[in-house]
Chains A and B, each alone.
Chain A
Amino acid sequence: MKNDRKNRNILLVEDKPAALRLTQEVFRENKMPNNLYVARDGVEAMAFLRQKGEYADVPRPDLILLDLNLPKKDGREVLAEVKSDDELKRIPVVVLSVSESEEDILQCYNRQANCYITKPVHLPEFMKVIKSIENFWLNIVMLPE
């Protein structure tokens, strides 16, 4: 039921400072060793994933947490690019968004988001959701190598 205890690399694509800081806190506390990398917009996220320029030496992430509303390049576009790239499509993408619109949800699943989660506005619920994501994807699921 558990992954081997190897370091997991997670890419968090998020531009809101509060959400960023809280997510970092939750992942720091996990018993599964992990590195949380941050990209603050969609262009940065794709550069990181394609290991371009200053990102030439970064690892391929084992998991992507993707906000939908991002500067420069939208999360929907990032999702579509990841899932149509043979090198990247295996990486699970957890979409996190404030949007509850059925259209957004359906579109993300059709673009092969691995799951879609609505970001709670209030702090305790937000922490609970991030903890669930962290626990499910790092401790229960087997991630691709």
Chain B
Amino acid sequence: MKNDKNTRQILFVDDNPGDINLAVEALKVGRLKYNVHGVEDGEQAMTFLRREGEYAGAPHPDLILLDLNLPKKDGCQVLAEIKADANLKRIPVVMLTVSKAEEDILKSYNLRANCYITKPFDIEQIFKVVKSIEDFWFTIVKLPPNGVE
């Protein structure tokens, strides 16, 4: 889990550490190397992204996985802050949440989420969804250049 330039950095914001661990496991299978940074509330997510306090040395993530229902600061608020920040808005944000409500989907896209995916309940299905996200975003898509620091 070194931070060399071939390691993809993912920020996973979810108040369920079980789901973060599952993503870490899913991403260990395969050719590419990932460093998954898990944070469990919206305030921590913004602290990480702005590299404040304990996150002073944190890398800029290549991709953000963001839950909607989060303690302290909710996912929509985090999304809005990212997409309003000139230094952060280029980073793709994948909403990953149990909500299937049309209202949540529409609101997320209007706040410029890059895509919205419903998180299944079943472990095996979550695993599959994480692999689909990995395949699409890290092998098909060209991600924006990550700030070299």
List A residues at the B interface (Cβ < 8 Å): 1, 83, 89-92, 100, 102, 105-106, 109-110, 112, 114-118, 129, 132-133, 136-137, 140-145
A1 touches B116 (CB 8 A): no
Q: Which residues of A contact B90 (CB under 8 A)?
A: 106, 109-110
Q: Which residues of B contact A109 (CB under 8 A)?
A: 89-92, 144
Q: Which residues of B contact A145 (CB under 8 A)?
A: 102, 105-106
Known: A90-B109, A106-B145. A140 touches B129 (CB 8 A): yes
A112 touches B112 (CB 8 A): yes
Q: Which residue of B lies closest to A116 (CB)?
A: B142
B144 touches A106 (CB 8 A): yes
Find residues 104-149 in chain B having any chain A CB closer than 8 Å to their own CB: 105-106, 109-110, 112, 114-118, 120, 125, 128-129, 132-133, 135-137, 140-145
Question: What 5 A-B pairs come out closest when comparing CB atoms?
Answer: A109-B90, A90-B109, A109-B144, A136-B136, A144-B109
Q: Which residues of B contact A92 (CB under 8 A)?
A: 109, 114-115
Known: A1-B129, A92-B109, A114-B114. A133 touches B140 (CB 8 A): yes
B114 touches A142 (CB 8 A): no
B145 touches A105 (CB 8 A): yes
Chain A contact residues, majority secondary structure = mixed
A83 to B112, CA, bound (A): 9
Q: Which residue of B lies closest to A137 (CB)?
A: B115
Q: Which residues of B contact A132 (CB under 8 A)?
A: 135-136, 140
List B residues at the A interface (Cβ < 8 Å): 83, 89-92, 100, 102, 105-106, 109-110, 112, 114-118, 120, 125, 128-129, 132-133, 135-137, 140-145
Q: Which residues of A contact B92 (CB under 8 A)?
A: 109, 114-115
Q: Which residues of A contact B100 (CB under 8 A)?
A: 142
A92 to B94, CA, bound (A): 12
Q: Which residues of B contact A136 (CB under 8 A)?
A: 132, 135-136, 140
Known: A136-B132, A145-B106. A118 touches B142 (CB 8 A): yes
A1 touches B140 (CB 8 A): no
Contact of A105 among B115, B120, B135, B142 (CB under 8 A): B142
Q: Which residues of B contact A102 (CB under 8 A)?
A: 145
Contacts A109-B92, A144-B102 known; list 4 others, CB within 8 Å: A114-B115, A140-B129, A141-B116, A144-B106
Contact of B140 among A114, A129, A144 (CB under 8 A): A129
Q: Which residues of A contact B115 (CB under 8 A)?
A: 92, 114-115, 137, 141
Most chain B CB within a 10 A radius of its CB, from A141, A142, A144: A142
A102 to B143, CA, bound (A): 9
**Least Cβ distance of B117 to chain A in Å?**
6
